[in-house]
Amino acid sequence: MQVGTERQAGSELHAWRQFLARSTLWLGVLLLGSAAICWVAANWQDMSKVQRFAGAQTLLAVCALAAAWAGLRLRTAAGARGAIPGALLALAGILLGALLALLGQTYQTGADTWELFAWWAVLLLPWALAAASQAVWLLWTLVVNVAMVLWLGERVFSWWGLLGATYLPALIVAGLNLAMLAGWELAARRWRASTLVGPRLLAALAIGALVMSTMYTDLFIGRSYGSTTGSIAWLVVTLVLGFYYQKVRRDLVILAMLAAGVICVSLRVVGEWLLRLEPGAWAALPLAALLMAEAVWAARWLRGLAAEGKTAAPAADAEPASASAGNPVDPAPAGEPVAQVTPPATPAADAPWYVQCLLGLSAWLATLLLLLFIGLSQIVNTQEGALVAGLVLCAAGVAVLRSEAGPFWRQCGTAMAFAGELLVIFGISDSTSFTNACLFVLALAVAVYVLGTDLILRFLSGLLIAGAAAGLIWRGLSPALVDENLFDALWRFDSARAAFLWLPIAVTGAWGAAVAFSLSRRDASPRARALAPLAWAFLLSVQCMVWLAGGISAQQLPAMWAVNPRSAVLVVAGALLPAAAALSVLWPRRRVLTAGLLWGVPLALLILALFWLPSPGVGFALAWLLLGFGLGLRSLTVFGVGSLLVYLGVYYYQLEVPLLQKAVWLGGGALLLFFLRVMVWLVPRLMRTREDGPRAILPPVSAVLRWRTVGVLGGLALVLAVANGSIWQREQLLGSGRVVILELAPVDPRSLMQGDYMALNFAASRDVTRLRKDGSRDPALTQDEVLNYEPDGYLVLAQDERGVGKVLRIQPGTQPRADGEVPLRYRVRDNSVRIVTNAYFFPEGQAKRYEVARFGELRVGENGEALLVRMLGADLQPL
To 10 degrees, what angle do helices 616-631 and 12-42 make? 160
pLDDT at 791: 67
Lowest mean pLDDT among 332-336, 377-381, 540-544, 770-774: 332-336
Per-residue buried b or exposed e for 784-823, using 16+ beta carbons within 10 Å of the residue's own CB: eebbbebeebbbbbebeeeebbebbebbeebeebeeeebb
Within 10 A of 109 (CB to CB), how many other CB atoms are there? Answer: 19
Give the H or E element holding residue 148: helix 134-154
pLDDT at 833: 76
Give the H or E element holding residue 256: helix 252-276
Give the H or E element holding residue 712: helix 703-736
Residues 425 and 816: their CA atoms lie apart, in Å, by 72
pLDDT at 478: 66
What confidence tens digit (pLDDT) does each residue in 14-46 have? 888 888 888 888 888 888 888 888 888 777 777
pLDDT at 122: 92
Residues 752 and 82: their CA atoms lie apart, in Å, by 36
pLDDT at 206: 92
Q: Is the pLDDT of residue 178 over 90?
A: yes
Number of H helices, E strands in the chain: 30, 11
The mean pLDDT value for 623-638 works out to 88
**In the beta sheet, which residues pair with residue 303?**
none
Cis preceding-peptide flag for 791 (omega within 30 of 0): no
pLDDT at 830: 63
Lowest mean pLDDT among 1-15, 109-123, 700-714: 1-15
- Identify the CA nearest to 824 among candidates 868, 759, 786, 877: 868
How sure is the predictor about 321, in pLDDT bands with cuts at 50, 70 and 90? very low
pLDDT at 255: 92
Quick one: how far is CA 83 from the chain centroid?
A: 28
SS3 630: helix
Instruction: Give Cα separations from 211 to 180, 207, 256, 270, 290 (angstroms).
Output: 19, 6, 14, 15, 18
Q: Is the pLDDT of residue 781 over 50?
A: no
Q: Is the pLDDT of residue 270 over 70?
A: yes
CB 77 within 8 A of CB 328: yes
More confident residue, 661 or 499: 661
Residues 537 and 350: their CA atoms lie apart, in Å, by 17
Give the H or E element holding residue 130: helix 113-131
| Amino acid occupying residue 721 | A
The alpha-helical segments, DSSP class H, found in 587-702 are 595-612, 616-631, 634-652, 659-686
**In the beta sheet, which residues pair with residue 807?**
797
pLDDT at 316: 38
pLDDT at 355: 85
pLDDT at 244: 92
DSSP 269-322: HHHHHHHHT--GGGGHHHHHHHHHHHHHHHHHHHHHHHHHT-PPPPPPPSS-HH
**Cα angle 352-353-358, degrees, rounded to a multiple of 5:** 100
Quick one: how far is CA 770 from the chain centroid?
A: 42
How sure is the predictor about 181, in pLDDT bands with cuts at 50, 70 and 90? very high
Quick one: how far is CA 503 from the chain centroid?
A: 20
pLDDT at 343: 44
More confident residue, 830 or 11: 11
Lowest mean pLDDT among 280-294, 692-706, 809-823: 692-706
Lowest mean pLDDT among 235-239, 514-518, 673-677, 832-836: 832-836
List strands edge to edge, sheet with 805-811: 805-811, 793-799, 822-829, 832-835
* Number of Cα atoms under 13 Å in the Cβ half of residue 270: 16
Strand pairing report for 839-841 and 822-829: unpaired
The mean pLDDT value for 866-879 works out to 79
pLDDT at 179: 92
Strand pairing report for 793-799 and 855-860: unpaired
- Identify the CA nearest to 849 among candidates 859, 838, 858, 840: 840
What confidence tens digit (pLDDT) does each residue in 381-412 have? 788 888 888 898 899 888 988 887 788 888 88
pLDDT at 428: 84
Lowest mean pLDDT among 325-339, 414-428, 500-514: 325-339
What confidence tens digit (pLDDT) does each residue in 786-800 have? 444 456 788 888 877
pLDDT at 269: 83
DSSP label at residue 555: G
Within 10 A of 247 (CB to CB), how many other CB atoms are there? Answer: 9
Max mean pLDDT range (173-177, 187-191, 432-436) = 173-177
Residues 420 and 366: their CA atoms lie apart, in Å, by 12
Lowest mean pLDDT among 198-202, 538-542, 658-662: 658-662
Residues 221 and 230: their CA atoms lie apart, in Å, by 13
Instruction: Give Cα separations from 123 to 68, 126, 153, 879 (angstroms).
Output: 17, 7, 23, 36
How sure is the predictor about 202, in pLDDT bands with cuts at 50, 70 and 90? very high
Q: Is the pLDDT of residue 241 over 90?
A: yes
More confident residue, 144 or 317: 144
Instruction: Give Cα separations from 97 to 103, 420, 723 (angstroms).
Output: 10, 50, 11
Q: Is the pLDDT of residue 491 over 50?
A: no
Region for residue 433 given its phi and psi (left: phi exceeds 0; alpha: psi -120 to 50; beta: otherwise): beta
The mean pLDDT value for 821-840 works out to 75
Residues 516 and 727: their CA atoms lie apart, in Å, by 55
**In the beta sheet, which residues pair with residue 795?**
810, 824
**In the beta sheet, which residues pair with residue 88?**
none
Q: Is the pLDDT of residue 164 over 70?
A: no
DSSP 429-449: TTTS-HHHHHHHHHHHHHHHH
CB 560 within 8 A of CB 567: yes
Strand pairing report for 805-811 and 750-751: unpaired
Domain boundaries, the chain: 737-872
Average pLDDT of the residues of the chain: 77
DSSP 502-520: HHHHHHHHHHHHHHHHHHH
How sure is the predictor about 144, in pLDDT bands with cuts at 50, 70 and 90? very high
Phi/psi of residue 108, nearest 5 degrees: 45, 50
The mean pLDDT value for 742-762 works out to 60
How sure is the predictor about 240, in pLDDT bands with cuts at 50, 70 and 90? very high
What confidence tens digit (pLDDT) does each residue in 55-82 have? 888 889 988 888 888 777 765 554 444 4
How sure is the predictor about 493, in pLDDT bands with cuts at 50, 70 and 90? very low
